Chains A and B, each alone.
Chain A
Amino acid sequence: MNKSVARLEFNRHGVWAIYRFEIARALRTLVQSLVTPVITTSLYFVVFGAAIGSRLTSTGGVNYGAFIVPGLIMLALFTESLSNASFGIYFPKWTGTIYELLSAPVSYLEIVIAYVGAAATKSVVLGLIIMATASLFVPIKVLHPVWMIGFLLMTAANFSLFGFIIGIWAKSFEHLQFIPMLIITPLTFLGGAFYSIDMLPPAWRTFSLFNPIVYLISGFRWSFYGSGDVSVGVSLLMTVGFFVICLVVVAWIFKTGYRLKN
């Protein structure tokens, strides 16, 4: 047996093992991971973009069908990032295999990098596939491709981190669904995924500005068409702010062992 234990400064093998495990899980359930969200988003597109959108005039100079594409991608990104990351960490808790993770020489940061990285990877791939699917229906232009990729990655990382927190907090499968279904999805629908908040009455517009999702969708939409509900700087700040808050919560969880260790 091993007599000399090398000092591990960064457990890259550990991070890679978790990452690969999570990706393999997604590939094993390819229909659930990829096909289902693509079909769901396509249906949204058909209903809101083609059926209803054909009766609407252009929004901010952009054809309505094309206008909702960033919102649809964001909607998929939010739900899939949350779902992938929360399930990824909740499942070992549920089966009991979490013992191995807790007893392994992996740091909290490495655990987060691996789980959040894997969930974000899946979401980004899904987002790109949805964009490709949408391009079959409407012509899509991306004015700021670097920003578009940036917002895509940041949002995927943000919501994967948020999902990771939900996965640790959850005590049941019902808990896993609670926040995505009852909070995130409504906020996304009310956050300008299918409309510009400029179309709302002034009071509702002001109210919408308290919805953080507005800033994420607006920034992403700006990267496509060069205009958004709020300035891109504010969107960026909100995205970074959300990420920092999630990081602080995760750091607290690992420091206290909240719902991980007794």
Chain B
Amino acid sequence: MRPIVSINNVTKSYASGFQALKLINLDIEQGEIFALLGPNGAGKTTLINIICGIVIASSGTVTADGHDIVRDYRAARSMIGLVPQELSTDAFETVWATVTFSRGLFGRAPNPAFIERLLRDLSLLDKRQTRIMELSGGMKRRVMIAKALSHEPQILFLDEPTAGVDVELRRDMWGLVRGLRDKGVTIILTTHYIEEAEEMADRVGVINKGTLVLVEDKQELMKKLGKKHLTLHLQTPLPRIPAELASWNLELKTDGMDLIYTADSADGVDISELLKRLSELSIVIKDLQTQQSSLEDIFVSLVSERT
């Protein structure tokens, strides 16, 4: 199947000599939620801005559903919606006017019924005649999403959609994104919250210092990233791990005084079964401690390892 977005050998260097992107190759499949992860300044926004026509690539090509974003920009851009990271809005306009403007700008005939439905889905309908300057930050973020969806795009870019938003809105957005995916919209999401990618993405790409360091299925990535550790402080040191416990992912530390069980976060930690086995083997536990790796920490460590 042809990818809906195809990025080939894209680089971006600025006049200052700073290389924001170093030879990016990436295919986005139709209908997937793709999360582009990376620390601040990694190149996520630059890549999105190139695809959307806001930044000019130094080299390489990008196609959207087979349309070159430069030569065939009308067809390419018509199918793309963008929610930028910054809350850039026409403060003096009403919600209705600004969303209607966006639909027209992208070449679509007026459709008040569609706009009304869109605003209702985003809980903005009762604010339609409110000027944007009077809205809260969360509401403004919804308006930006409404603008991006106003021309019914097939590809939606969400650049740090939940940066600085509260938990409730974050959950709402995740629901909205899933709803869009169910309607066939391909979603490319940038974030530096791995938790967000874990919650929503089908595939994950990690970008750092302008290089795409890995692209993987989310489940696979989470297995690598998410770990839980159970540390059992023993009454007496163990010289080695008993053969009866070979099926458990265990290791001995602190001269045999600590027995550490590590599990993938997705699998969970079956503590009761392990404790029962230890009791059967007369291994006395003095204390225990559980620890879950910070996803952010693991991500940063992964990024630093690969570059």
Binding site for B on A (CB under 8 A): 1-3, 5-8, 11, 13-14, 16-18, 20-21, 24-25, 28, 95-97, 99-107, 257, 261-262
The complex places the Cα of A3 from the Cα of B30 at a distance, in Å, of: 12
Q: Which of B71-89 contact A (CB under 8 A)?
A: 73-80, 82, 84, 86, 88-89
Give the contacting residue for A104; candidates B84, B100, B106; CB below 8 A.
B106
Give the contacting residue for A13; candidates B89, B107, B180; CB below 8 A.
B107
The complex places the Cα of A124 from the Cα of B202 at a distance, in Å, of: 56
A14-B104, A96-B86 are known; give 9 further A-B pairs, CB within 8 A: A2-B153, A3-B154, A14-B105, A95-B88, A96-B84, A97-B88, A99-B54, A99-B84, A104-B106
Interchain residue pairs A-B with the least CB separation, the first 4:
A17-B104, A96-B88, A2-B152, A105-B77
Contacts of A103 in B (CB 8 A): 52-54, 77, 80, 82
Given A11-B74, A24-B97, A257-B56, is A105 in contact with B152 using a C-beta cutoff of 8 Å?
no
Cβ of B91 within 8 Å of any chain A Cβ, yes or no, is yes
The complex places the Cα of A100 from the Cα of B110 at a distance, in Å, of: 18
Given A14-B105, A100-B105, A257-B56, is A105 in contact with B86 using a C-beta cutoff of 8 Å?
no
Contacts of B54 in A (CB 8 A): 99, 102-103, 261
The complex places the Cα of A102 from the Cα of B147 at a distance, in Å, of: 14
Q: 20 A-B contacts, Cβ less than 8 Å apart?
A: A1-B152, A1-B184, A1-B185, A2-B151, A3-B154, A5-B75, A6-B107, A8-B74, A8-B78, A13-B106, A95-B88, A95-B89, A95-B90, A99-B52, A99-B54, A102-B53, A103-B52, A104-B77, A104-B107, A105-B77
Cβ of B101 within 8 Å of any chain A Cβ, yes or no, is yes
Contacts of B93 in A (CB 8 A): 21
Cβ of B102 within 8 Å of any chain A Cβ, yes or no, is yes
Q: Which of B92-124 contact A (CB under 8 A)?
A: 92-93, 97, 100-110
Contacts of A107 in B (CB 8 A): 74
